[in-house]
Amino acid sequence: MRIFSLFYPPVVFFVIGLFIISVDNLPISHAAPLPKWAEAPTVQQSKTLSLRDAILRAFGRSPAIAQASAQAGIGQAQIDEAQSVWYPQVSLSGTSGHSKQADSSGSLNNSASYGLTLSQLVYDFGKTNNNIKKQETVSASYYYNLLSVMNEVGEKTALTYLDVKRYQSLCDAVEDNIKSLEAVRDMAQLRADAGLSSSSDVLQAEARIAGMRATLEQYRAQRLTAVSQLAVLTGVRASNLPDYPKELLKQPVQLDSIGYQNNPQVQSAQSQQNAAKYGVEVAKSQNWPTLSLQGARTRHETDSRSYWNDQLQLSVDMPIYQGGAVSARVDQAEGVRRAAESQVNQAKMDINQKAATAFANWTGARERETAGDQQFFAAITARDVYRNEYKLSKRSLNDLLSVEQDVHQAAIAKLNADYDGWTSAVNYAAAVDNLLPLLEILRKYKDDLPSL
């Protein structure tokens, strides 16, 4: 076996040094910049963000709204395409190559031909008109779907906004409880220093404070999660969120007389049903002829002479037998119509169920809030009495910590009931399509849509 020496000649170290220097002098390679579509959405910083502004910002940022808006534009293009059938159809044609015509008078060898062709629809027994009406109702369904998507985005943004407020209030409630427990600890420390109680009371109070601080960090983490979710929806991270508008709690509740005719979810389904009805008429009209006026002027180049061929004719196109294709199309259109009709009923049922659930939760939240007020007042009164009795050694520290826990639980229950009521109010307003009007966001007409 060959044994390598640990001592290399100086020339080896010289070569290694040159290699290291050359590597250090190599240009630093930078990664290629990300394409525009791969960049992360930007988030702005703001001092305040109202609920209305949050929803409007979410409108301009939502991919679902952008998709629904693009679909509405497609609907208008489909109407234009359907209407174009009534306009003259003009085309140019040309051929080049050998062709031969033979009749009793002789033959012609054609080398090229070119010309202008004109076709004008005269009457087609409702094919085109019904198709235009179908596309108009489909376009209307796209528009109502856009309104429905805006309502959904508004509801999601409002609920996320509410989550930020909820967890901030819960953090404040825990901080109040920590301050109250610190006062109990200080009281126990004074009694322990005076020899009136054991030092274990101080340790017990410290343990309770540590537990509440852990709860506080949990609520803070949940608040940061809600803040991040709101920033993703709106593109804004605000340090202050104003309170909810009181109009949400004053909205009329009428479960027995919900205005389905003005709800975009129902209107979209109804438009689809109307489009299906026109689709049936389009399919039935395929049994009738189509009358059109056709004209053409064509130039023919031959080996002997050139000539023009002029044509002006009334064309009639009527199917006689197609193997049952027309009847099959009618049956398909009837099936689509029945399915669309069921979608209207389904939309009404979904609205009714969501509104009824929101109203029931709203009623329950108000009852719990009333009970929470009474519970909180009773716990506060008991805490004041227990503190005085603890100072007189008539109550133990466990009694005082227990009543502090009662006060905290009553405060948390009251807050949750309050925010559950707000959540139910948002859900009900969204169910009956009243959320955006309550926030003065108009979208009744196309010109009233916020700029996207």
pLDDT of residue 103: 57
Using pLDDT thresholds of 50, 70 and 90, give the confidence band for residue 20. very low
Using pLDDT thresholds of 50, 70 and 90, give the confidence band for residue 378. very high
Contact 43, 236 (CB under 8 A): yes
Q: Determine the 3-state secondary structure of 339 from DSSP.
A: helix
CA distance 348 to 187: 61
DSSP state of 105: T
pLDDT digits (tens, 9 = 90+) for 265-289: 999 999 999 999 999 998 988 889 9
CA distance 350 to 253: 17
pLDDT of residue 53: 93
Is 35 a member of any domain?
Answer: no
Query: What's the predicted TM-score (pTM) here?
Result: 0.79
Beta bridge partners of 300: 113, 307
Which of 76-85, 209-218, 250-259, 286-295 is predicted with the least confidence, judged by mean pLDDT? 250-259
Q: Write out the residue range of the structural domain in which residue 194 sits.
A: 44-88+124-289+325-439
pLDDT digits (tens, 9 = 90+) for 30-40: 555 656 555 55
Residue 431: closest CA among 53, 242, 158 = 158
pLDDT digits (tens, 9 = 90+) for 217-256: 999 999 999 999 999 999 999 888 898 888 887 787 777 7
Whether residue 16 is predicted with pLDDT greater than 50 in this model: the reply is: no
State how many domains the chain has.
1
pLDDT of residue 46: 81
pLDDT digits (tens, 9 = 90+) for 33-60: 656 555 556 777 888 899 999 999 999 8
* 405: its two tokens: 């826990």
Which of 103-107, 267-271, 385-389 is predicted with the least confidence, judged by mean pLDDT? 103-107
Q: What is the mean pLDDT of residues 435-441?
A: 89
- The CATH number of the domain holding residue 334 is 1.20.1600.10
Is 309 a member of any domain?
Answer: no
Is 59 a member of any domain?
Answer: yes
Is 70 a member of any domain?
Answer: yes
Which residue in this structure is represented by tokens 């405060």?
411
Beta bridge partners of 116: 92, 297
Rounded to the nearest integer, the mean pLDDT of the chain is: 84
Is 385 a member of any domain?
Answer: yes
Whether residue 384 is predicted with pLDDT greater than 80 in this model: the reply is: yes
Residue scoring higher pLDDT (33 or 367): 367
Give Rg (Cα) of the chain.
39
pLDDT digits (tens, 9 = 90+) for 304-323: 777 788 888 898 988 888 88
pLDDT of residue 351: 92
pLDDT of residue 408: 94
Is 190 a member of any domain?
Answer: yes
Total Cβ atoms within 10 A of residue 157? 25
pLDDT digits (tens, 9 = 90+) for 151-183: 999 999 999 999 999 999 999 999 999 999 999
Is 93 a member of any domain?
Answer: no
Please tell me the total number of residues recorded for the chain in this structure: 452
> Angle CA(56)–CA(152)–CA(243) in degrees, nearest 5?
55
Is 339 a member of any domain?
Answer: yes
